[in-house]
Amino acid sequence: MAAGSDTLVRFQGVEKSYDGVRFAVRHLDLDIARGEFLTLLGPSGSGKTTTLMMLAGFEQPTAGEILLEGRPIARLPPHKRGIGVVFQSYALFPHMTVGENVGFPLSVRGIGRAERDRRVARALDMVRLPDYGARRPSQLSGGQQQRVALARALVFEPPLVLLDEPLGALDKQLREEMQLEIRHIHERLGVTMVYVTHDQSEALTMSDRIAVFRDGAIRQLDTPQALYERPADAFVAGFVGENNRLAGRVAERDGDMAAIVLADGRRLWARRADAGAEGSPAILSVRPERIAVAAAAADDLGENALAATVAEVIYLGDHVRVRLSLADGAEITAKRPASAAMAGLVPGAAVAVAWQPEHAVAFAP
């Protein structure tokens, strides 16, 4: 998101309840900057899709207001909002050609044939399907159909494009290719995109900012790097990327650091997020790739080290995953480059694990 960019969309106190008792979205205040790529990320039922559907006009807020370019739109029907929408199901018309599908939003807006053909050709070229205008959707692969759906959403040059789990039906390789394709189209056009997914790696790959939803509310709104490196609470840390979690209590606080004492009495230092006062329960969280594994005694590696036993080693090409058992029965996982894996790293081997204090975070449970 560019510095100083203005607000295109604003949610003000938006709530959504289907039965008047439980809230799918609660007290949502959110600004979306013009030209940014914002991802709404969360588990099923967290409120992310409901938020997108309210912005698109397919759901009505129970309370609050939604503004688009400063204008209230909560009571406007979808076709009067001027917003492009891409669904996971593609929603292409099977009886129309690709060109007719892409040109449909222009037809309903009364755009003349010559101008419509020009815009359709440009949109198909944008998604790398310049020669597919005469084909039917049934003659395309899943990835090609998704490109057509994206071209249709972009062809009338909307200020905002909404994408609801658009890559969910694609295989892994094609999904990754389309992630980059959508990201590059966004960069070229500068159009504002709001993207819904439950896939953390997808959100990290594509977004300027990510809003992490849980129970109808945003738990953290930040850049991908900040979410991954500085999660606001234990839920965000566990949902965005892999995490090891060790239970203990806050023994000492020193500025933005905290000493966590585990059940076996071992003290480990970590950055303090929302960990409470001394004596309160805490969860220490550390990413697998931050953990070093050494054939040494824990005391030899300093204060932030634990004795462990190798339980399993899984070779994954560029790295190995090492599952380790701690003395108290807890398990943690380390991720190490395959080239750096030790010859003695075998099940049953006694090792030590360690990490830098600034690479761990302490949270309230």
CATH number assigned to the domain comprising residue 278: 2.40.50.140
Identify whether residues 224 and 329 lie together within a single domain. no
Q: Contact, 284 vs 361, CB < 8 A?
A: yes
- The single residue listed with the structure tokens 């030590």 is 352
Question: 135 and 276 share a domain?
Answer: no
Q: Please give the Cα distance from 159 to 154 (Å, whole number).
A: 9
Confirm whether 253 is domain-assigned.
yes
Side-chain-side CA neighbours of 119 within 13 Å: the count stands at 22
| 147 and 281 co-located in one domain | no
> Does some domain include residue 26?
yes
For residues 205 and 311, membership in a common domain is answered with no
Residues 6+ apart with CB under 8 A from 158: 82, 83, 84, 191
For residue 315, the cross-strand partners are 320
Q: What is the number of structural domains in the chain?
A: 2
Q: Reduced to 3 states, what is the DSSP secondary structure of residue 262?
A: strand
Which residues form the domain of 248?
242-363
Domain boundary among 213, 234, 255: 234
Kindly state whether residue 1 falls inside one of the protein's structural domains. Answer: no
69 and 171 housed in the same domain: yes
Do the domain assignments include residue 317? yes
* Other C-beta atoms lying within 10 Å of the C-beta of residue 217: 16
37 in a domain, yes or no?
yes
Does 320 lie in the same domain as 357?
yes
Q: What is the CATH number of the domain that holds 33?
A: 3.40.50.300
> Would 2 be classed as within a structural domain?
no
| Pair (226, 272) in one structural domain | no
Residues 217 and 263 in one domain: no
Helix ranges (H only) for the chain are 48-56, 98-108, 113-126, 142-154, 172-189, 200-206, 224-229, 234-239
Does residue 137 form part of some domain? yes
271, 357 in Cβ contact below 8 A? yes
Check whether residue 200 and residue 255 sit in a common domain.
no
Q: What is the DSSP string of 114-156?
A: HHHHHHHHHHHHHTT-TT-TTS-GGGS-HHHHHHHHHHHHHTT
Q: Of 205, 234, 263, which residue constitutes the final position of a domain?
A: 234
Q: Which of 176, 201, 234 is the last residue of a domain?
A: 234
Residues 229 and 262 in one domain: no
Q: Which single residue is written with the structure tokens 């509310």?
A: 217
Quick one: which of 35, 36, 32, 37 has its CA closest to 70?
32
Q: Are 101 and 133 in contact (CB under 8 A)?
A: no
Same domain, 161 and 26: yes
Q: Could you tell me if 264 and 209 lie in one domain?
A: no
Q: Mind listing the pLDDT tens digit of every residue in the chain (365 residues)?
A: 443 459 999 999 999 999 988 999 999 999 999 999 999 999 999 999 999 999 999 999 999 999 999 999 988 999 899 999 998 887 899 999 999 999 999 998 989 999 999 999 999 998 889 999 999 999 998 889 988 999 999 999 899 999 999 888 788 888 888 899 899 999 988 999 999 999 999 999 999 999 999 999 999 999 999 999 989 988 999 899 889 999 999 999 988 999 999 988 889 999 988 777 888 999 999 999 999 888 876 666 667 889 999 999 998 888 889 999 998 888 999 998 877 656 668 889 899 999 999 999 999 88
Q: Is residue 285 part of a domain?
A: yes
